[in-house]
Amino acid sequence: MNYKVKHFVTYDGERFSQLYDAEEGGFPLYYPTSYIARSVRSRATHKTQQVHLEAVKRVCEWEAQQNIRLALRFPSRQFLQQFEIDSLVKHLVSSRSGRDWDVICRDKANTYIAYAARYLRWLACEVIGEIGADVKAAIDEQHHSLISAVARKSGSSSASKQRISVMQLPNETTQALFELFKNPLNGVKKEGDQGPRMRNVVMLRILYETGMRRGELLSLKLANFVEAIAGESARLRIERNHHDKLDSRVHQPVAKTLGRIVNISAETEQQLIRYRDKWRPSDGSDFLFLNHRGGRFQSNPVTETGFNSALDKLKEAFPALEPLHPHLLRHDWNYRFSKLADKEGLEFETERTMREMLMGWKPNSNMSLLYNQRHIQERVNDIGRELASDTMHRGQKKWP
């Protein structure tokens, strides 16, 4: 069977998704739809719902391959055996590249396994109805057997944090960015390409200067841009915007963090004003960054796919930008913030609080602590090198 996830937007802006049998069409699959509607939809963002549904979709695919129906087996107390769990896990973590030996990344694999386990526990309870102690124990055993695959495949938490802590822009990429910020239309030959290029460069510059997320950037509206006045710098207002009914994008970019106000440089302000007043399509959309190309999507807000495509084109034109991706800019911002905090002599807790406010994190965020520790580790390394150097010099000194 060929299963397909379809996405919808309600009249009031809510996004939701449903799983269909692509060959039959018609109505969505009953149990997956019921599960998402009753157990996931009310407590999860649309993006999280989609991840749940992808895991459920893989369970349904596996059922079709094995020629079994768990909704019919579970009422007879026939739960998954270990060899079936192993087979299901293999399918859950397999890549869609077409090669049997390819698997998805570890974090995504663990998520699919965990979400599939939740769905199967819900399904068993749903179709069995009245559950005694022995049946509950069997359901729990099946659940824990599946969840144990996460533990076996889980990587080192400290290693993952260490990878995050060393992420920053290469020097040549930073230099290429600065040159592009200084001359955003460099290499543009066609007049019709000037607007999209200016838009793309301004978007990158905002990400670099503020460390905001891609979803937050693409959710900015005209009213969120506050020009400089009375000695204050220009600002961008980031708002939480889940299920915005004014957003025509089915896959709505959203702000995952808290709302906040961030400052931008005078140069970025002037480029943003120039883009807005000279090139931005003026067809009534509230969003700041819009599509320029002709067709039915013209003047629609830029999608995440559109942003990625625009970034790929910049990388083709400027190869030094190849390592660049939106979240790397966020890591790099945090590194630069740590350097500045050190220069200003900020206390540890002051630095952490300011970082949380600027990043939109809740107080005492683990991420703010991680970034603070990252910079502290660099200082520890510097002191360690000085001590080692001092030992060498002392060893070379001739004592009387």
Give yes or no: residues 191 and 305 share one domain.
yes
- pLDDT at residue number 248: 62
Q: Is 12 exposed, middle or buried (0-12, 13-18, 19+ CB in 10 A)?
A: exposed
Give yes or no: residues 233 and 259 share one domain.
yes
pTM more than 0.75: no
Cα 122 to its chain centre, rounded Å, is 27
Give yes or no: residues 203 and 119 share one domain.
no
CB 314 within 8 A of CB 321: yes
Q: In angstroms, rounded to a whole number, what is the distance separating the alpha carbons of residues 32 and 166?
A: 40
- Answer whether residue 161 is part of any domain: no
- Answer whether residue 167 is part of any domain: no
- Answer whether residue 162 is part of any domain: no
- The residue from 324, 355, 382 where one domain ends is 324
The stretch 249-261 carries a mean pLDDT of 71
**Whether pLDDT at 259 is above 80:** yes
**pLDDT tens per residue across span 334-364:** 989 988 988 898 888 898 899 999 999 888 8
**Whether pLDDT at 157 is above 90:** no
The stretch 89-115 carries a mean pLDDT of 79
- pLDDT at residue number 339: 86
Give yes or no: residues 11 and 145 share one domain.
yes
- Answer whether residue 12 is part of any domain: yes
- The residue from 271, 293, 324 where one domain ends is 324
**pLDDT tens per residue across span 282-316:** 876 788 999 887 766 677 889 888 899 999 999 99
- pLDDT at residue number 154: 46
- Answer whether residue 40 is part of any domain: yes
Q: In angstroms, rounded to a whole number, what is the distance separating the alpha carbons of residues 324 and 337?
A: 19
- The residue from 130, 155, 180 where one domain ends is 155
Give yes or no: residues 246 and 299 share one domain.
yes
- Answer whether residue 230 is part of any domain: yes
CATH of the domain at 199: 1.10.443.10
**Whether pLDDT at 58 is above 60:** yes
Give yes or no: residues 150 and 9 share one domain.
yes
Answer positive or negative: Cα dihedral of 42, 45, 47, 52: negative
Split into its structural domains, the chain has a count of 3
- Answer whether residue 165 is part of any domain: no
Give yes or no: residues 12 and 144 share one domain.
yes
Give yes or no: residues 285 and 196 share one domain.
yes
The stretch 239-255 carries a mean pLDDT of 65
Q: Find, among 250, 256, 246, the residue nearest to 215 by Cα.
A: 256
Output 47 or 234, whichever has higher pLDDT: 234
198 — pLDDT class (breaks 50, 70, 90)? very high
- pLDDT at residue number 269: 97
Q: Find, among 310, 336, 322, 335, the residue nearest to 177 by Cα.
A: 322
- pLDDT at residue number 342: 85
Q: Which domain holds residue 7?
A: 3-155
Give yes or no: residues 45 and 74 share one domain.
yes
- pLDDT at residue number 88: 94
- Answer whether residue 260 is part of any domain: yes
Give yes or no: residues 308 and 260 share one domain.
yes
Give yes or no: residues 180 and 78 share one domain.
no
Task: List the structure tokens of 52.
Answer: 């749940």
- pLDDT at residue number 292: 87
Give yes or no: residues 19 and 124 share one domain.
yes
**Whether pLDDT at 398 is above 70:** no
Task: List the structure tokens of 11.
Answer: 């009249």
Q: Find, among 142, 115, 140, 120, the residue nearest to 31 by Cα.
A: 120
